[in-house]
């Protein structure tokens, strides 16, 4: 009986304990959703097992959001967690999205720290003082970092991006900045600010400096009497947005009544198109459209509100703005003779399909038509005004003026305008007619040099010498000749000094001279081979330079043995170069027959493994690499004290650091090697597929050989295909020929087949391919300099249509 009683007691205790064990995971889950964040807690981008940090109600979440237009990049953000579109209300790294496997961690010393997979810092919140003890995401969407005494050290509400939330305030000097576009979270062209005079305003700004242009909306809360000026913008918990004056008067920016904040979310967002909108969204969402409802837009009509000052307005230059049903701008080009500057960005402005403002002795009004648009105006860019005038006189005046691109007529006044046109709008309130001048037929400009002359200033300076000498007085000429003679003597002595034996001159160099034994020890007997190239074999090693650092040691094969001076001179030239896109030379060894160079070690290896291997880089990464290589070559060709021609530009000679920044290797080594060093052609420096035609034609070798090789490499970077590929049937596929065929036939998308990111960036794709075709011209005089290549790649100058690059070759 006693045994049965004990057994019964055990069973009686077991059931509650078992029930508590079952409930324990639920308790832990609830504990994780309290909004509290501990020191060293972290979230990793792209980790499907990781969950964002949630507020207690789970209304808001903090973590990583994958970018819609690039699946490899992430935005560190706060968003509404329970509604279908999970609207982002705050973000940290808009201008520098984080790659996959990046991590955000709460630290005691720096607060939130966002790092790359390699440990590089992308963004940090910072803290005001002391040490952080915890973080907390509350149910208002505010992320707070506090110390052990619960004092706030940092909060997201004090560092807003493009959105204000209920309970959030903005003091004098505070601002919101729009995004650049719907999917680009970099700083955009519009701002909402509370000025120090108390006025809350919307204005455009100049990128990238952020210089504010004239306001297009204001709250009228400024006051010369400081005691009555606006001191803060308040978005209260009921969903009302207002400016609070110093005398506690509220100036509402929310018109009428708003829906209940108990049942609805509220936010105020400065959209990328410049419209500041108050929104609401039901909390208990169950079906329906799921869209945010608009409470108010500021201004009421952005198309007609932006009138004064500089900038391009919501639609870019040469565009027309109209409103949609949501009071947001719709942008379009004014006529079929214009097209979007960027086909992927309808807010980025338009370009004409014909040369503009072309004035010469052959100009004739008969070559032009005027296209009429009603209720349309561009209020800026006037350069002539006629009043009183009639419409016939106005149109005639524009046709006969070679500078006039548009005439505006209204109420007896005529305005003549030049491109680019700014703040275009079409609205029934605009009681004016616009006449756009367009060229008839297929008029083209006379043939001219494909590239502007300004990158070649030396010729211009040379041409000025003779007129200066002939146009000055005898005494001035005497002084000038004396000055020239002095400069000649000075530089001649300097040249003699450079050619003197090493012991007779002092060369400023940071290069370290290693012994062969030191490098043998550093590389463990040259055991770990990193790669082989046309200049020798590369080994990994470690040297002591205050710390033990990894290096790449290159053993040069068959070095020119003319003299000790020749080797040291060329190495010193290489050692004096310094550019972020060049591999840095640390030191050298010149001992007996041994010639070695010691370089910085780059952990990601060569570009070839990322172009032709299993792991492919994204389109944005590849374009940045191309720009980096171009900058490095420009430095070697034009910015070094001694011009350096590489002679072997190819993917294997482009190395990548931990952030995939490109660095050119093996530059300047050509002079150190025998002429027949190349593995491909006798007496030719370079590699098959990258060699310019002048090597075969006994022509002078200039920096244009590197431009040719860069053009081939650029096509490889674009297409991720080798310059020469042997197919299964034994036939060879030459990338340059195929790329030009694709370009000529208007199907360059074939070069990036299945690369969605590149296909969504057709404007840049077309520009890069066109620049590459200019670079691979067989006639070196047609190839641009690297300076011109940079200007075209960065879209600073227009890229002309290239001729066939193979006039001397039968393909």
Please state, in angstroms and rounded to a whole number, the distance separating the CA atoms of residues 467 and 517: 61
Q: Is the peptide bond before 299 cis (omega within 30 degrees of 0)?
A: yes
Give me 160's structure tokens. Answer: 């807003």
* Cα–Cα nearest to 101, from 48, 52, 51: 48
**Which residue of the set 72, 648, 755, 761 is catalytic?**
648
8 Å CB contact between 570 and 671: yes
Please state, in angstroms and rounded to a whole number, the distance separating the CA atoms of residues 117 and 100: 8
8 Å CB contact between 53 and 32: no
* 555 marked ligand binding residue: yes
Please state, in angstroms and rounded to a whole number, the distance separating the CA atoms of residues 264 and 69: 30
Q: Is the peptide bond before 179 cis (omega within 30 degrees of 0)?
A: no
β-strands 512-513, 585-591 pairing: parallel
Q: Would you give the DSSP letter of residue 346?
A: E
3-state SS string for 63-76: EEEEECCEEEEEEE
Please state, in angstroms and rounded to a whole number, the distance separating the CA atoms of residues 169 and 350: 39
Residue indicated by tokens 């020749």: 566
Please state, in angstroms and rounded to a whole number, the distance separating the CA atoms of residues 194 and 200: 4
3-state SS string for 526-593: CCCEEEEECCEEEEEEEEECCCEEEEEEEEECCECCCCHHHHHHHHHHHHCCCCCCECCEEEEEEECC
Q: Would you give the DSSP letter of residue 237?
A: T
CB atoms within 10 A of CB 74: 24
8 Å CB contact between 669 and 660: no
Give me 420's structure tokens. Answer: 């680019």
Q: Would you give the DSSP letter of residue 636?
A: I
Which residue(s) pair with 417 in the sheet? 382, 406
350: left (phi over 0), alpha (psi -120 to 50) or beta: beta
Give me 454's structure tokens. Answer: 């300004």
Please state, in angstroms and rounded to a whole number, the distance separating the CA atoms of residues 407 and 414: 7
Annotated active-site residue 779? The verdict is no
Annotated binding-site residues for ATP read 555
Q: Which residues are catalytic?
A: 648
């Amino acid at each position: 009986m006693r045994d049965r009683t004990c057994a019964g007691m055990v069973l009686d205790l077991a059931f509650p304990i078992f029930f508590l064990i079952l409930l324990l995971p639920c308790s832990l889950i609830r504990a994780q959703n309290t909004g509290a964040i501990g020191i060293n807690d972290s979230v990793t981008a792209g980790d499907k097992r990781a969950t964002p940090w949630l507020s207690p109600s789970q209304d808001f979440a903090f973590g990583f959001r994958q970018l819609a237009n690039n699946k490899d990049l992430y935005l560190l953000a706060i968003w509404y967690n329970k509604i279908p579109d999970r609207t982002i209300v705050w973000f940290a790294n808009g201008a520098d999205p984080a790659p996959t496997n990046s991590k955000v961690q709460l630290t005691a010393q720096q607060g939130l720290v966002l790092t790359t997979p390699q440990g590089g810092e992308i963004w940090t919140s910072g803290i005001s003082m002391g040490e952080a003890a915890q973080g907390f995401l509350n149910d208002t969407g505010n992320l707070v970092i506090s110390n052990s005494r619960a004092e706030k050290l940092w909060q997201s509400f004090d560092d807003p991006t493009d959105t204000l939330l209920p309970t959030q305030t903005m003091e004098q000097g505070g601002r919101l900045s729009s995004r650049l576009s719907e999917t680009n979270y970099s700083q955009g062209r519009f701002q909402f600010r509370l000025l120090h005079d108390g006025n809350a305003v919307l204005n455009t700004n100049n990128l990238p400096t952020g210089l504010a242009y004239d306001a297009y909306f204001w709250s009228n809360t400024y006051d010369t009497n400081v005691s009555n000026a606006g001191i803060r913008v308040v978005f209260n918990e009921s969903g009302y947005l207002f400016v609070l004056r110093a005398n506690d008067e509220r100036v509402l920016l929310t018109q009428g009544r708003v829906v209940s904040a108990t049942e609805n979310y509220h936010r105020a967002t400065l959209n990328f198109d410049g419209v500041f909108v108050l929104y609401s969204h039901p909390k208990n969402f169950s079906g329906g459209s799921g869209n945010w409802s608009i409470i108010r837009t500021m201004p009421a009509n952005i198309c007609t509100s932006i009138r004064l000052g500089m900038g391009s307005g919501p639609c870019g230059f040469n565009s027309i703005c109209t409103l949609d049903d949501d009071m947001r701008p719709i942008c379009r080009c004014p006529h079929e003779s214009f097209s979007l500057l960027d086909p992927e960005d309808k807010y980025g402005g338009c370009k004409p399909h014909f040369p503009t403002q072309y004035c010469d002795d052959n100009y004739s009004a008969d070559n032009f038509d005027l296209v009429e648009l009603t209720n349309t105006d561009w209020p800026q860019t006037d350069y002539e005004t006629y009043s009183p005038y009639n419409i016939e006189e106005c149109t005639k005046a524009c046709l006969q003026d070679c500078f006039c691109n548009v005439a505006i007529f209204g109420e007896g006044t005529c305005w003549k305008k030049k491109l680019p046109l700014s703040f275009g709008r079409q609205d029934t309130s605009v009681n004016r007619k616009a006449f756009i001048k367009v060229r008839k037929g297929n008029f083209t400009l006379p043939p001219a040099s494909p590239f502007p002359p300004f990158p070649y200033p030396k010729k211009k300076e040379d041409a000025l010498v003779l007129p200066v000498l002939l146009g000055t007085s005898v005494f001035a000429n005497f002084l000038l000749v004396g000055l020239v003679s002095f400069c000649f003597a000075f530089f001649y002595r300097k040249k003699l000094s450079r050619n003197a034996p090493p012991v007779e001159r002092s060369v400023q160099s940071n290069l370290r001279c290693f012994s062969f034994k030191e490098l043998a020890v550093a590389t463990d007997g040259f055991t770990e081979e990193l790669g082989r190239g046309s200049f020798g074999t590369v080994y990994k090693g470690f040297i002591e330079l205050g710390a033990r650092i990894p290096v790449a040691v290159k053993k040069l094969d068959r070095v020119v043995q003319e003299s000790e001076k020749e080797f040291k001179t060329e190495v010193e030239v290489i050692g004096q170069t310094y550019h972020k896109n060049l591999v840095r030379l640390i030191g050298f060894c010149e001992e007996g027959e041994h010639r070695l160079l010691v370089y910085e070690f780059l952990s990601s290896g060569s570009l070839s493994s990322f172009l032709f291997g299993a792991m492919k880089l994204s389109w944005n990464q590849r374009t940045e690499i191309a720009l980096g290589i171009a900058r490095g070559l420009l430095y070697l060709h034009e910015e070094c004290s001694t011009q350096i021609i590489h002679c072997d530009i190819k993917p294997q000679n482009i190395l990548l650091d931990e952030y995939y920044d490109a660095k050119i290797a093996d530059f300047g080594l050509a002079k150190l090697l025998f002429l027949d060093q190349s593995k491909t052609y006798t007496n030719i420096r370079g590699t098959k597929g990258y060699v310019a035609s002048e090597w075969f034609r006994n022509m002078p070798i200039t920096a244009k050989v590197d431009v040719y090789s860069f053009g081939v490499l650029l096509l490889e970077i674009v297409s991720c295909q080798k310059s020469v590929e042997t197919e299964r049937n034994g036939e060879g596929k030459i990338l340059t020929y195929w790329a030009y065929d694709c370009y000529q036939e208007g199907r360059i998308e074939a070069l990036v087949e299945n690369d969605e990111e590149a296909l969504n960036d057709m404007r840049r794709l077309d520009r890069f391919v066109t620049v590459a075709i200019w670079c691979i011209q067989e006639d070196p005089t047609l190839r641009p300099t690297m300076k011109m290549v940079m200007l075209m790649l960065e879209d600073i100058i227009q890229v002309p249509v290239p001729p066939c690059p193979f006039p001397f070759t039968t393909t």
